[in-house]
Chains A and B, each alone.
Chain A
């Protein structure tokens, strides 16, 4: 059973009838000091006793967003905030359909899918009143491609014509980005690339040139955008305040006037703040014992809010390291894990994985069944591979990342360790932090617990990052490399999504037959949200679409 310090304290107090009600405060300090107030019930003050103003929604999170600069936005912590401050040319709606935003319509595509022309929505202005022009969008993409900015997105746009020469310092500008007129922007690509529009939808924001030139590397602290909110205050590690932008082109659709985020609050304390009505939303996912306690408490069960989250959780077997060089051993490992049991350790917050394309992603095949749990067959496979009862198997280091979001990686890794050992594997757990995963030498790591999430609704995002030969070890943890699959993947970029999905399903079968992963589950995210706040977690691409949050 996982340990939760607050849970233990709460139980201690409740078990000894030392429930301290808020009326103690009125009763005076002496009453508190002797701890003589006896109450009943199982929890602290309720949110309904202290409902904050409906116009202002308060939230807490454990650490700062990585950045507020759209050119540096890596899509993990910062994504929700960047999208609150800037309007992309196009975006994904709740149904993951691409719709125009800063553009009047989806772009016209010409020259065999190599030229994309966007027409900007007239009347768009930054929050400081300056008009938004095509040059402002072009500037952001050019910044991304500028090596000195160290943008993690540089690879997403490197197929724009002239981008590679610009990155290498051989050209003063990117020839493939053309500002036709203040309202028209054109991108020319080296070759047709279906996912280009996905990248534009998640990174195609405008930035005000004066500010960007004044603060080239620290624009994140001087952000002015054209989105639903303006940055009213940001003290790193302390607080971030977003106020409704009256100049936003859809200002009437923003349901609140202010989002006030307190930073540095641990998930456990955040949950207590939500329960006691001091905060509306906890932006860190609730996991482990804290989640269990909330689900078991009738009063707070309704505070647990599920959010759409499209991802795979799996353990990658390094196919270049013994014993996983042997496909029989990989299959044995995949069959030895009881996925139902794994789901139980995360209190059922997920679905058993049936295929690489995750549940919720276009291309997910609902007819496929999960890999069975079959330790008997696993033992037989190990014997066939020359390791009867695991005899002769080299020890396996299993790296699990405790900072992975949504679930408790350590608990899952411990259950997997037991199950793998049951059929004969010798597993040593190595618990690391997220960045520990990045710096671990994966060419020497046989087994890695990981999650791969959807950046945009196209299976390519997962197929490429996790199975392309060019991504070996990082982040293709399994070191899967199949030149035929690589070629299929490259050519799929030139197909329409429905046609590409057919290819991805074939590739998926081929990859799964090689057992590069121990498939586990598709996670469901859970957040602590005050019941009177609605609209949290309804968009899989943007879990916290602040503008959609309402408070009754």
Chain B
């Protein structure tokens, strides 16, 4: 039954990706970009620009260009960069691992920092120190911009004490500073969410019953309470995939990470439409897959949802 559910979600996701691809094509015509002029550079003559325009196929009718674009997409071909002539799929494949590494460590880090502190705040809510810790860390995390924390981490740990690399990805330790910067600043919402969700669950009758039966605190918190409080956290993690997939640009710029964000930024600066489109489509695919995984995970946690959605 879970498979039927997953397949239905996947088909829906494909429709979304197709819509994004079409939208990207339409937007590229709405933007006041002249790719031929961009490629030709400032010293080019009109003859050169016209020749390049023809070579790019931009003189063809729009519907022909659209059909060619969709045909290429169906063959897994995202086109070629206007600037480097490199296949876009190759450029993305080279950059994606870095973005996934940042995204993955950030998501895990957010959960590792956010959930225990949120749970602590809810469990020990009668104790003033616990509330202070929970609220204090959450507020700090929510107010510090990730790039600012990143700069401080770089200045202290990379420039002054030189434990971490000062930008770039040459050493394996490159991931530490960006992951900490993003995870800490993102953890604030998880603290708040875990706190609120656990606070609701911890006053439920079944928790009182479990406690009366003598269930250990750890088991009570992490097996009985957190399992039921986890749904909004999992949904939020899925939303974070979408936010982070396209939103790691500033952190990538600060730390010199050659990820998708940097690729997209350079493409925007160069007016490199195939790369911009390619990145948007790949991010759309990532978001669709993340949404699918989240739906499946939530369904596995709560059979009622699975049945409702079927």
Contact = CB atoms under 8 A, between A and B. Distances in A.
Given A235-B94, A236-B91, A150 B52 contact: yes
A470 B86 contact: no
Given A147-B55, A269-B154, A435-B269, A22 B160 contact: yes
B154 A147 contact: no
What is the size category of the interface that chain A forms with chain B?
35 or more
Given A24-B161, A236-B258, A276 B166 contact: yes
Contact of B155 (A6, A147, A403, A441): A6
Interface in B149-168: 151-152, 154-156, 158-163, 166-168
Contacts of B34: 438-439
B48 A5 contact: no
Contacts of A272: 154-155, 158-159, 166
A238 B271 CA distance: 21
A264 B168 contact: yes
A435 B38 contact: yes
B199 to A, nearest CB: 31
Given A262-B170, A441-B32, A66 B84 contact: yes
B77 to A, nearest CB: 14
Contact of A269 (B91, B167, B268): B167
Given A9-B151, A152-B40, A433-B269, A238 B169 contact: yes
B51 A66 contact: no
A217 B84 CA distance: 9
Contacts of A152: 39-41, 43-44, 48, 52
A13 B80 CA distance: 47
A237 B258 contact: yes
Interface string A271-309: 011011010000000000000000000000000000000
Interface stretch (B68-76, B132-140, B181-189, B249-257): B249-257
Interface residues of B, number: 62
B51 A147 contact: yes
A236 B147 CA distance: 23
Contact of A265 (B83, B84, B167): B167
A8 to B, nearest CB: 9
A318 interface: no
Given A155-B47, A265-B168, 8 more contacts: A6-B151, A32-B156, A152-B39, A221-B86, A264-B167, A272-B166, A433-B268, A474-B42
23 contacts: A5-B151, A6-B155, A32-B161, A67-B85, A147-B51, A150-B56, A158-B45, A158-B47, A167-B51, A220-B84, A235-B94, A236-B94, A236-B258, A238-B258, A239-B170, A262-B170, A264-B256, A266-B167, A266-B254, A273-B167, A276-B166, A435-B271, A439-B38
Interface of B: 31-34, 37-48, 51-52, 54-56, 80, 82-87, 91, 94-95, 147-148, 151-152, 154-156, 158-163, 166-170, 252-254, 256-258, 262-263, 266, 268-271
